[in-house]
Structure formats: C-alpha cells, structure tokens
Amino acid sequence: MNKPLRRIALFCGLLVLTLLLRDNWLQYVKADQLKDDPNNRRVTIARYSTPRGDIIVDGNPITGSTETSKTGLNDLKYKRTYKNGPMWSPVTGYASQAFGATQLESIDDGILTGDDDRLFFRKTLDMITGKPQQGGNVVTTLNASAQKAAYDGLKAQGGKGAVVALDPATGKILALASYPSYDPSAFAGNSNKDAKAWNDLQKKNNPADPMLNRALRETYPPGSTFKIVTAAAALENGKYTSADEKTDSPLPWTMPGTHTQLKNEGNIPCKNATMRVALQYSCNTVFGKIGSDLGNEKMLDEAKKFGFGSEQFIPVRSNASVFSDDMNPSQTALSSIGQFNTAATPLQMAMVASAVANDGKLMKPYMVDELESSNVDPVAKTQPEEMSRPLSAENAQILQSMMETVVEKGTGTNAKIPGVTVGGKTGTAQHGVANSANPYAWFLSYAKLADGSSPVAVAVVIEDEHANRDDISGGGLAAPIAKNVMKAVLDTKK
C-alpha cells in the first residue's frame, strides 16, 4: 500500500475509533444525565406512553390514568387522575404532564412508570411476551377512614390546618391531612385549562396557599402542647419523680434576669402545683420554671430525642422542628411552654404523642408500606424502625397518667371516647406581632385499648383568622377533630 493510502486508512481508523469512543461515552458515561435532562422530550413521552401504576390505600387505588384528549399538539398519551384529590394530595403529591411531579408521585416515579431497576425481571418478561411496559404500585400505610375524618374535620372548621395520625407501635402514618387543599387532577394534563388551574393555585394568586402541605412543611409555635416535652425532661432528669409530687413553683414567678412575670391563663391553681395538676390546667409558671431550672442544654437534649432539629423523611421530606440552643434562662422558660423560637410541624407533635403512648419508644414515621410490581409481586417492604427513646417506660407511663387526667377532667374533655382511655394535651399558641393575630389551636392525643396498647396518636393544629378570638382553644377547635380521627382508627380494629 502506498504512503498516501496508508495515511487515509490511518485517518479513517482514527475517525472510527473516535466515533466508537463518543458512542460509548454517550451510552454509558452520559446515559443517566441525558435520560434526566428536562430537554429530552423522548423521556417525557415514554413516561406518559402507558398508564402509571397506582397509589394504594386500604387495598384500593386512590389514583388512576386516562387517555389525553387528542386535540392540540400534545403528544403525551396518558395523564394522571385522582380520587378525592384534595383529601389525598398531601399524601400523593401530583404528577403533571406540564409541571412535573412531587411527593410519592416523584419519589416512587420509577416504580409507578415501570422504569425502576428493581422491576427488571418484570420488564424482561413483558418484553418477551410483547406486553407494553406496566407500572408497579405504591402501597401506603394510610387508613382511609381516619384520613376522611381528618380532612372532613378540617374542612368543616373552615380555616387552615393539618392533622397527622400515627400508629405508635410501628410508626405507620394513618392520616396526613392539610387544609385548604387542591385537586391534582385539575392540572395533570398539558392544556391551557391545566395551566390556568395551576396558576390559580399558586400562593401569589391564592393567599390561602392550598398547595402548601401544612402537615409536613409548616412549622407552628406549639404552645402548651410542648409542655409534654418539658414534663418528659423533668422526669428524665430526675427533677421530679412522680406526677403527684409538689413542684417548686411560686406564684407570681418572675423570669430570671428580667422584671417580667410569666402569666397563667386565668385564676388557676398553679402555685407549687403537682405536674399532674399543672398539665391539667396548663400552668405556664410551672413548666416555664421547670425549663428554666433544667437549663437550655438539658431541654434541647430532650427535644432532640423527640425529633426536634432534624428533617424527617417518610419518605417525603418534613421540615425540621425547632428548639433553639444558646438561650438564656428566661428564653428557655418561654421556649419550654412552646413560645419564643420553638416551632414544630404537626408530624413532629404527633411523634411526641406517639412516643409517650408507646411507653417511651419513638418509632420512625413512614407512609409507604410496600412497593409492588404490576402483577403485585413485592418489590420492597418497609420494616418498622426504632428512632429513639425519649423516655423510660416508667416515666412514659407517669406522663400517660397526666395526659389522661387532662382528658378526664382538664382542658381536653372534648376528646373523651366512651369505653376508651384517651390521653391528650391542648395548646393555644400565640401568633403575630405582640400576639396580635388569632392564636393557633392545638391538640395532641392518643387512644388506649383495654389491653394497654395504643393503636393511634394524633396531632391537630387549626389556624383560623376569621374565628372569634375568645372562641379559639385547642380543646374547643382541635380536640373534636382528634376524637373523630381516633374513633375512625379504633372502629377499624373491631
């Protein structure tokens, strides 16, 4: 071969080698990046070319799929549908042809579309038999009756709020409701109508912010419900060893380093009251002084054991709740009654009630029980997992007896359920500059069966700017909702 031909051959060989290198670079090194590129239209077309799998509650799908209208230029075949969308959207999130996906629809997108690597065997069988790719299912821990009681209660109240119910023994989430809410079906497609529905739901156009998941993503001052954490800290640190021991609680009590007296709500028996009586009447002076006496470090340590300071993933992310460090004694006193900087999600406060109900053991909360293939073969199952031990079993039972007194003859009597032992704690949390806005109404509770087991713990928060301020209380607004949610769970146990 003459010299020019050898040069041409060598050049062509280099071109072929470069092409092979580039091809392998794209197929193997860059594959995931290209697959996830939002400009890769083929990925989106493939995602909506077949019906998605379903999100399941109590054995029934709360989602579906329908063929998209052929009008316009939309080349996506199927869009998502939702049953009772506003009730379930805090659980499902949304899957929209135009606006992407959130929450379970996003986290478990691979299972729902059938693209997850764990479905490889199922996909291979479908390919061999000529079936179109099918999505798997996400089986939740939710209880449909409890969710309906929670959502209907919030809706009837008419303001804003959230409810979370947990199974204390496992951490399973039984209800996760937020109000006001939205219907994900309204913008599941890619039409002008869907775009308008989406825009109408945005906070800049709708001050009620219906797309905010208040159960997970809003932190509220917990008010007097935080006194449960303070009581736990007192017991765990040995400051008091029983519910009926007199506390060192003068009245009036001036916060350390200030000339400011901490006030109680009305003329209630708080002077040197026992912790049982103090929780029954919700004495600020007693629990403020306990927090101040224990100090910031011990209070923060106890709050962290309940989950404060950490985001939770259920698997949807929940905001971290706040109990500050580096506070002086008076700030610690205010924080110990749920004021100052203390802030908590409804999920966090349900975890507090759950840990007390479960004899001091806090289970990690979760709402996906199982992932299934399209033929309902199990792909993955969530196992209950202990998260921490905020209290000893002995101290938890002391605190249970105090919370049960609150419901039996204290501020939480509206949560009574005939034939069932109920423990609870009310809270009315200050809100606004100089407490100028309507306060938040809280209620935490659990129900206990005759065998001593507690199948449900609940947290309810209500924010109603239109209510008469004097009518706002945790016992009046939030406790009846918690009662109905607990009853719904108990009825399923019969």
What pLDDT score does 467 carry?
Answer: 43
What pLDDT score does 124 carry?
Answer: 64
At the second CATH level, the architecture of 216-368+386-492 is 3-Layer(aba) Sandwich (3.40)
Cα–Cα distances in Å, from 264 out to 252, 278, 466?
A: 9, 11, 25
Per DSSP bridges, beta strands 261-262 and 312-313 are unpaired
Task: Read off the pLDDT of residues 40-76 as tens digits, 9 standing for 90 and up.
Answer: 667 777 778 789 999 999 999 999 999 887 655 567 8
- What are the residue ranges in the chain where pLDDT is below 50? 431-436, 465-472
Structure tokens at 373: 């293939």
What pLDDT score does 466 carry?
Answer: 45
Contact predicate 343/323, CB 8 Å = no
CA nearest 55: which of 317, 369, 312? 369
Among 224, 354, 373, 473, the active-site one is: 224
Q: Give domain limits for the chain.
A: 216-368+386-492
Per DSSP bridges, beta strands 55-57 and 137-140 are parallel
Q: b/e per residue, 215-236, with b = 16+ CB within 10 A?
A: bbbbbbbbbbbbbbbbbbbbbb
pTM over 0.85: yes
Q: Which residue has the tokens 């765990």?
A: 236
What pLDDT score does 34 carry?
Answer: 61
**Rounded distance, CA 219 to CA 312, Å?**
13
DSSP class of 237 = T
Task: Read off the pLDDT of residues 186-198 as tens digits, 9 standing for 90 and up.
Answer: 999 999 999 999 9
Give the amino acid at 142.
Answer: L
What pLDDT score does 440 carry?
Answer: 87
| Angle, vertex CA 188, rays to CA 184 and CA 192, nearest 5 | 115
CA nearest 403: which of 462, 334, 308, 474? 474
Query: Residue 458, CB half-sphere, CA atoms under 13 Å: how many?
Result: 38
**Rounded distance, CA 112 to CA 61, Å?**
12
Contact predicate 306/312, CB 8 Å = no
State yes or no: is 224 an active-site residue. yes
What pLDDT score does 150 carry?
Answer: 98
Phi, psi of 381 (to 5 degrees): -135, 135
Sign for the CA dihedral angle at 17, 23, 28, 30 comes to positive
**Rounded distance, CA 284 to CA 249, Å?**
10
Task: Read off the pLDDT of residues 142-178 as tens digits, 9 standing for 90 and up.
Answer: 999 999 999 999 999 988 999 999 999 999 999 999 9
What pLDDT score does 103 carry?
Answer: 97
**Rounded distance, CA 234 to CA 240, Å?**
6
